[in-house]
Amino acid sequence: MALRFEVLGRFNRARAAQLTLPHFVSQTPLFMPVGTQGTIKGLTNDQLEEIGCQIILGNTYHLALRPTSELIDELGGLHKFMNWPRALLTDSGGFQMVSLLHLADITEKGVTFQSPVDGKPMLLTPEESIQIQNRIGADIIMALDDVVRTTITGPRIEEAMYRTLRWIDRCIAAHKRPNEQNLFGIIQGGLDPVLRDICVRGLVERNLPGYAIGGLAGGEDKDSFWRVVAQCTAALPEDKPRYVMGVGYPLDIVVCSALGADMYDCVYPTRTARFGTALVPEGVLKLKHRAMATDTRPIDPSCNCMVCKKYSRAYIHCLVTKDAMGSQLLSYHNLFYMMKQ
Amino acid sequence: MALRFEVLGRFNRARAAQLTLPHFVSQTPLFMPVGTQGTIKGLTNDQLEEIGCQIILGNTYHLALRPTSELIDELGGLHKFMNWPRALLTDSGGFQMVSLLHLADITEKGVTFQSPVDGKPMLLTPEESIQIQNRIGADIIMALDDVVRTTITGPRIEEAMYRTLRWIDRCIAAHKRPNEQNLFGIIQGGLDPVLRDICVRGLVERNLPGYAIGGLAGGEDKDSFWRVVAQCTAALPEDKPRYVMGVGYPLDIVVCSALGADMYDCVYPTRTARFGTALVPEGVLKLKHRAMATDTRPIDPSCNCMVCKKYSRAYIHCLVTKDAMGSQLLSYHNLFYMMKQ
């Protein structure tokens, strides 16, 4: 185990904690922006530190394709490659293969998919996912899981949950850097409380450095979503971080934190910025809207970020309707907004 | 006149000077990056100040179309709109209309062109160009000139030069903010020494705050280019800034400065960055090249810019082959390189 997790305060089920990782001491609850390919699109690392970003998520699948995990390893690891001094987390790569690629197929061995390079069938096993992540060198690495959409029902949910439990042992066995990298297990089981319960217990038995609640934010209704989070956080140990995967709407983060979760990741704040949308206390502000053209106010008059201190809605409107620079300013503001949560 | 120009040192014809403008005290020779629409694509103003950028060029044509000069005026001028505290220069808008638009036609009244908004014929007169630039509020504004390619010969060159001289008087008469904005005249006359001579004398008689050498960098051979610059700088007064328009290759800037020119502008360093090319002492470095993928050196080991201090060629290669962020880092480096000249 290469982390320390100290709960500093509690309010009902919510908690504020300090998460000490090999590269950074983070304060939770925290949001992790997604930097798919070694960069948060449009922002420099100086700006990310200025915003208060503590952990960046890198996508194993994208990094393994380019520049390749072997090259990252040779160049001294992802921290050095992207010149990011703070913490990093990598996903297993499995979800990208299932969601991005055609002909992906899951068997007991692993995830079989068509190589985007030469079209040949390739297999990502739990062992390989961990080996790649060991080379990349993030502070937190994720187990390969069998992800099933929450909108699916039937025996496939059960199969995926049990397979995830079988794969965690292969991941643990394959993990070669447990003193420098923390392997998190992922709870699956769809919306079924019994399956979720079996999975949580199974993972907690393995005494992992941290636990993720997976398979959510995939189209299920909010009540089901929160019910699963509440069930899992209640069953997870108090002294380990709890990460709800793929969650990025500010309201969801507030609710999940109230339920005792600590970590979140999502492309939402940066992707929505690229479409010209800013996060504000009232919800969202669409900067492409014509009314913005003559609006001299900042995006959010109550925000202290560099963009809100320096630029008007009218200026950003002028940029987002044409130039990439507009979405950079919005990404900056949106991530600042998320870090304040 | 709203500027002060003090020559601090001389070496043969070259000079180093201090140019005091309403918004900034600049050191010449200087290079002005082109920020077409109120932004240098991909860089924040903080970064531009860090790089040492003293004057930004805004394109009157683009700004007049969007957000419109009326709106910029209402919002307090371009400095305030784009939150740039240092100096600004706007071109006349004429060149863009001739170069970007079909059916542009030059008559004694002005430049007639097809409106990109509704396709109707529109006329930009010298009076209108100045009125628009008065609204935008840059430190330096440019007279509307009749630009002819240097590769053309015959009576059209003569007509354009005399028209430019006739239009300068209409520009001077139309200029409503001579105590806050400096109107620069533009020397035309193609590659013909007699016509260039008539134009320089005519403009110098008007005692303008500064002079530009126009119509160059348009495909003529280097000898002709340098000969025209040498002739014009020799005939221009010692106590006024001299601006060679559209010049941005480092070698050209060095030669023109040796010939006594002070100011330059070009899209080259930022445009070439967007194509993945970095300026280095040896010439250029193409970051998209495969050999860069495993090159752990900085772009230019002798460069002190943030990008060369923080990132490897391998990292930037990984970004430029896919992500806009790569060209942002290159733009930063390239403009830093230009500012060092």
- pLDDT confidence of residue A152: 84
| Cross-strand bridge partners of residue B31 | B264
| A169 annotated as a binding-site residue | no
Q: How far apart are CA B301 and CA B308, in angstroms?
A: 7
Mean pLDDT across A42-71: 94
Q: Which residue reads 């320390």 in tokens?
A: A4
Please give the backbone phi and psi of residue B286, each rounded to the nearest 5 degrees, phi first: -90, 105
CB of B153 within 8 Å of a chain A CB? The answer is no
Flag whether B303 is marked binding: yes
Q: Where along chain B do the CATH 3.20.20.105 domains lie?
A: 4-272
Give the N- to C-terminal CA distance of chain B in Å, as an integer: 28
- pLDDT, mean of residues B139-152: 92
Residue B316's pLDDT band (cuts 50, 70, 90): very high
Interval B137-151 mean pLDDT = 93
* Separation CA A40–CA B58 (nearest Å): 29
Cα A133 from chain centroid? 15
Options A146, A252, A262, A265, the catalytic residue: A265
Q: A122 with A113: CB under 8 angstroms?
A: yes
- Mean pLDDT for chain B? 94
Q: Which residues on A lie below 8 Å from B67 (Cβ)?
A: 293, 314, 317-318
Q: What is the pLDDT of residue B103?
A: 67
DSSP summary character for residue B48:
H
Closest CA to A58 of A66, A49, A47: A66
Query: Residue range B143-150: average pLDDT?
Result: 91
Report yes or no: B66 at the A interface, CB cutoff 8 Å. Answer: yes
Q: Which of A314, A39, A110, A72 is nearest to B73 (CA)?
A: A314
Task: Give the pLDDT score at A341.
Answer: 59
* pTM score, whole prediction: 0.91
A75: which DSSP letter? T
Express each pLDDT in A97-140 by its tens digit: 777 766 678 999 999 888 877 888 889 999 999 999 999 999 99
The pLDDT, as a whole number, for residue A105 is: 86
Tell me the two tokens of residue A7: 């709960």
- List pLDDT tens digits, range A134-158: 999 999 999 999 998 888 888 999 9
Judged against a pLDDT cut of 70, whether residue A226 lies above it is answered with yes
Nearest CA-CA partner of B312 in B268, B272, B278, B340: B278
Q: Which of A283, A229, A200 is nearest to A14 (CA)?
A: A229
Dihedral over Cα of A118, A120, A121, A126: its sign: negative
Q: How much is the pLDDT for B113? A: 85
Residue of B nearest to A298 (CA): B81
pLDDT of residue B341: 59
Q: Hunting for tokens 């290469």 — which residue is that?
A: A2
* Strands laid side by side in the A121-124 sheet: A105-106, A111-114, A121-124
Q: What is the mean pLDDT of chain A?
A: 94
Cα separation of A198 and A157, whole Å?
12
Question: At residue B214, does pLDDT exceed 80?
Answer: yes
The answer to whether A244 and A216 have CB atoms below 8 angstroms apart is yes
CA distances from A291 to A154, A287, A308, B118 (A): 49, 9, 18, 21
For residue A131, what are the contacts with CB-CB under 8 A and spacing of at least 6? Answer: A174, A176
In chain B, pLDDT over 90 holds for what percent of residues? 84
Tell me if chain A has a CB within 8 Å of the CB of B312. yes
Strand partners, B339: none
A132 CA: distance to closest CA in chain B (Å): 18
Backbone angles phi, psi at A329, to 5 degrees: -65, -40
The beta-carbon neighbor of A319 closest among B39, B293, B306 is: B39
* Nearest C-alpha neighbor of B144 from the set B80, B200, B96: B96
Query: Is B256 known as a binding-site position?
Result: no
- Give the confidence band of B324 by pLDDT, cuts at 50, 70, 90: confident
* Mean per-residue pLDDT, B33-61: 93
Which of A39, A66, A319 comes nearest B325 by C-beta?
A39
Which pLDDT value is given to residue A102? Answer: 64
Give the pLDDT score at B181.
Answer: 98
Give residue B100's identity as a one-letter amino acid code.
L
CATH 3.20.20.105 fits A4-272, yes or no: yes
**What are residue B211's DSSP bridge partners?**
B185, B242
Q: What is the per-residue pLDDT across A182-218, written as a single tens digit (0 to 9) for each?
A: 999 999 999 999 999 999 999 999 999 999 999 999 8
Q: Is B94 annotated as a binding residue?
A: yes
Percent of chain A's residues with pLDDT above 90 = 84
Size of interface A-B (CB pairs under 8 A): 89
Contact present, A68 and A53 (Cβ < 8 Å): no
| CA B319 – CA A56 distance, rounded (Å) | 17
Mean pLDDT (whole number) for B309-338: 90
Strand ranges in A83-199 using DSSP code E only, listed in sequence order:
87-90, 105-106, 111-114, 121-124, 140-142, 182-187
Q: Is the pLDDT of residue B321 over 90?
A: no
B91 is known as an active-site residue: yes
Tokens 């630029």 map to which residue? A311
Mean pLDDT of B76-104: 88
- The confidence score (pLDDT) of residue B254 equals 95
pLDDT at B102: 64
Least confident span in A31-40, A235-244, B91-100, B295-304: B91-100
pLDDT average, residue stretch B118-144: 94
Comparing A319-333, B28-42, B211-225, the range with the smallest average pLDDT is A319-333
Does A66 sit within 8 Å of B325, measured CB to CB?
Answer: no
Closest-CA residue of B relative to A36 is B323
- Cα–Cα distances in Å, from B231 out to B143, B200, B246, B263? 21, 9, 18, 16
Backbone angles phi, psi at B7, to 5 degrees: -75, 125
Q: Nearest C-alpha of chain B: how many angstroms from A311?
A: 7
Strands across the sheet containing A4-11: A4-11, A14-20, A25-28
- What confidence score (pLDDT) does residue A285 get? 96
| The pair of three-digit structure tokens given for residue A172, joined into one six-digit string | 């643990």
B68 touching A, CB under 8 A?
no
CA dihedral B326, B327, B333, B339 (to 10 degrees): -170
Residue type, B307: V
Closest by CA to A139, choosing from A55, A208, A244, is: A55
pLDDT at A19: 98
Residue A15: closest CA among A283, A219, A311, A261: A261
Question: Average pLDDT, stretch B131-154?
Answer: 93
pLDDT bracket for residue B95 (50, 70, 90):
confident
Which distant-in-sequence residues (6+ apart) come within 8 Å of A86 by Cβ? A23, A24, A49, A53, A54, A55, A56
Determine whether A91 is an active site residue. Answer: yes
Token readout for B190 is: 């193609």
